[in-house]
Amino acid sequence: MEAFSTPSRSALEWCVHNPFVPETLEGWSALHLMYRIDWGRLGQAYPGERQQMAEEFAGVFAGTVASATEGGNALVQMLGHKGDLMAIAFRRSFDELGRTQLALSRCKLQAYLTLTTSYVSIVELGMYDMTAKIHRQLAEGGLTHGSDAFVTAFDEEMDRQRQRVTGRLFGEIPHRRYVCFYPMDKRRGETHNWYAVEFERRAEMMVEHGKVGREYAGRVTQVISGSIGFDDWEWGVDLFADDPVTFKKLIYEMRFDEASAKYAEFGPFYTGLQFAPAELRKLLEGELPSLT
């Protein structure tokens, strides 16, 4: 195994506060679990047993988070062949995600479930504009990049920004009927490499990209989570809406901006209907569960 030396303080400061690397702010740790239900075997169980398994699973899932300040849960009936049930968990830490996954794995319903895929990430806010702005302000204030004073002032400003957007970093899972989740990357090919583009140009493209999303404010709620180093893609995107057509229109329109047209790679899409945990029994009985 290759050994890595401990980086010096100056090296760490450069990595964290490099003006060409946009800062990010992190919130909930997020876990998506996609299951396929063995409908044949489940149908052979007694109705009372199915109800008991549904109540246990929903109860355990709810019991893994003490309050809205500690996380959130969502259950989704998936459409298509990729699975039947998706469980979404937002927690304060990976340890809490681990406890949640273990608790669900011990439920009796797991005997009828097969985990088809999963996704691990952390809710993230990219700070393209703010990173450049902070660097300009500190330089104009006479601070030298990389100095202790610069690093301290930078961290203090990032803390202020974190407090400002805490509601977005640790928001509730939207109570909306339709859900779409997909992972994505920025291209790193020979012709188009997002990470080789100058910072200022990347920032301009992200502003353009964001304008499209803001046009859909109120119609769709978007939660971006970073997964670099955690999963196979770089970001996970959760969309919540009251009309599923909104997903199609938003994603279609976004593909025409330069950030997506040249530099975006999309993974598989998982779409379904969010329902109340108490409605899991209906799903197991072959009925359409509702959100209320």
Show which residues are catalytic: 182
Q: Which two tokens stand for residue 284?
A: 């197991």
Sign of CA dihedral 226, 228, 231, 236: positive
Question: Taking the CA of residue 118 as centre, how many other CA atoms within 13 Å lie in the half-sphere pointing to its CB?
Answer: 12
Q: Is the dihedral of CA 140, 145, 151, 155 positive or negative?
A: positive
Taking 3-state DSSP, the helix, strand and coil percentages for the chain, each rounded to the nearest 5, stand at 45, 25, 30
Task: Tell me the C-alpha distance between 270 and 199, whole Å.
Answer: 32
Q: What is the DSSP letter of 178?
A: E
Helix 128-140, helix 148-164: angle, nearest 10 = 140
Task: Say how far apart CA 234 and CA 249 lie, in whole Å.
Answer: 23
List, as one string, the DSSP characters of 190-204: SS-BGGGS-HHHHHH
Contacts for 220 with CB less than 8 Å, ≥ 6 apart:
239, 240, 241, 246, 247, 250
Type of residue at 199: F
Distance CA 255, CA 184 (A): 13
Give kind and range of the element (H or E) at residue 51: helix 47-63
